[in-house]
Chain A
């Protein structure tokens, strides 16, 4: 067995046995949910229902119920889409990229981060679908033979690339997540005593038995899926950025977009992971598994990606002047000083300036402050997309058609609704699914567990 340097902080605190890990995770599933869970799911469920109602109204009336106009013909819908896809980048980054880099701290957070990814991508996918106005012809995005001759989809269009990118990303993330869940469902199946629950988890565990060859295959599949999911993560948000970068609109037509979008996505994704995990570790008493060190690691990712985003903002600003293209320059002057100045500066403050406080170790390890910052970053990243989309559109080449965008209650309702649906799904996950990757956490217990590390250090000194 390989040993870990004593100087590394333990990843599992206290003295735990394999059995303790099973009990700590399966216990909350077996027992009655705490009252707080019922309160939260009621609130989230009501918001979700309101959102579903808004979407139904939108589909029956048409997207004219949104505040779009002739000039600003893309606004909150696509902002929300990009925001949710961005959030959906942390899960696969944690489970795939950090697996390839053999980062053991990922094991405590990957399961819930992947769940978050899947739910966020579902919310993202909702927006292009409802934005079509005619949901029932949504399948037209796929290249299917049809009665029009056959008139195929246009594979030169970034919007179609997006269809392939998002659907591949969603389905591969889902499969990756579920393959990791199967052995843990088996653990629950073998532990619970209530017949109904036993049946439920037997079905979910697909008859997993955990023999030697099955584990060999499991590790191979995890590694290869991580290998293919890694370029996939980077491709998805690159393709999302192509939606903008390939169109000839000042403010959008920039080659810096793909890396800028990807780092922004990771930045916002980790912020959302922090928002969710800081609450979950407290409510489900997972402090020994999701430790302050884990939070610190994620804050380091936030400061790195936040700084990349900052460099991208400034580069983009500089190039708009240096290019000598007056339309390009105007787009950026207008962003910073035009009628939407407040959204530009909200973006700059939330995404570039505020994460820099994480250079201080004290603040990186302060949980309440991290939670506050995670909300700030979530807000900032929503504004980033709003700034890119709306401020680039609202003053086009023809000053007579310059216009402002005013969201209607339907804009607000559909956005809030997706937040409600997202939290409902996440709360259901936290209640019924193993929130930690049991099999992975157990595998690092004797290397990174606090009591085992102390034991090893003692032997070392004598």
Chain B
């Protein structure tokens, strides 16, 4: 028997969550959900782990702080110290108040752009990528649960569908894959 993918289409995020809970409590693995906006509280139900993007952003930020510090020390203190207005650049320690703004801005620059680039790559949203949502209505007003029979060997497509029928589902579509 060929593997089937089942799309349960809902009209409301709360109804989708009910449907997902029903499936999960019956031991069925939900592959993914597709929605026009974030469904709050869906992640623990279908087992999506917390993203580590914030940690990445912190790392990028710290990298920015270090680069800015090193760069300004090298350029203004070590390589070419200047005496401007009788205030010579003698040591990093003496100059550091004047270096705070650039250190701050560069930290933000690296944190924000590093995080944004990581986000794009991890989400596979990059220029020229094709759309992968199963139904064009999922970016408009429909909330879709995706279940694959390949992930759920103990359950037939019919059993999954009849479970879904017990929830306020709008329509159910099946496809071979």
Chain A residues in contact with chain B, CB under 8 A? Answer: 1, 17-19, 22, 143, 149-158, 160-161, 164-165, 167-168, 171-172, 175-176, 179, 182-183, 186-187, 189-191, 202-203, 205-221, 223-225, 228-229, 231-232, 235, 239, 242, 438-440, 442-443, 446
Contacts and interface: CB of A to CB of B under 8 A. Distances in A.
B108 A191 contact: no
Contacts of A223: 54
Contact of B57 (A1, A22, A224, A235): A224
A439 B98 CA distance: 42
B108 A19 contact: no
Given A149-B80, A172-B108, A216-B50, A186 B131 contact: yes
A17 B48 CA distance: 28
B102 A220 contact: no
Nearest to B13: A1
A143 B105 CA distance: 15
Contact of B36 (A154, A160, A165, A438): A438
Interface string B50-89: 1101100100010000000001100110011010100101
Interface stretch (B1-9, B38-46, B147-155, B168-176): B38-46
B76 A155 contact: yes
B14 A1 contact: yes
Contacts, number: 207
Interface of B: 12, 14, 32-39, 42-43, 46, 48, 50-51, 53-54, 57, 61, 71-72, 75-76, 79-80, 82, 84, 87, 89, 95, 98-99, 101-102, 104-106, 108-109, 111-113, 115-116, 119-120, 122-133, 136-141
A220 B136 CA distance: 25
Contact of A228 (B43, B80, B111, B119): B111
Contact of A440 (B37, B106, B128): B37
Contacts of B80: 149-152
A191 B140 contact: yes
A142 B148 CA distance: 54
Nearest to B57: A224
B36 A18 contact: yes
Given A225-B116, A239-B101, A155 B141 contact: no
Contacts of A232: 105, 108
A168 B109 contact: yes
Given A186-B131, A220-B53, A165 B122 contact: no
Question: Which 9 pairs from chain A and chain B are nearest by CB?
Answer: A207-B129, A18-B141, A190-B136, A152-B75, A215-B38, A206-B125, A161-B101, A164-B105, A209-B132
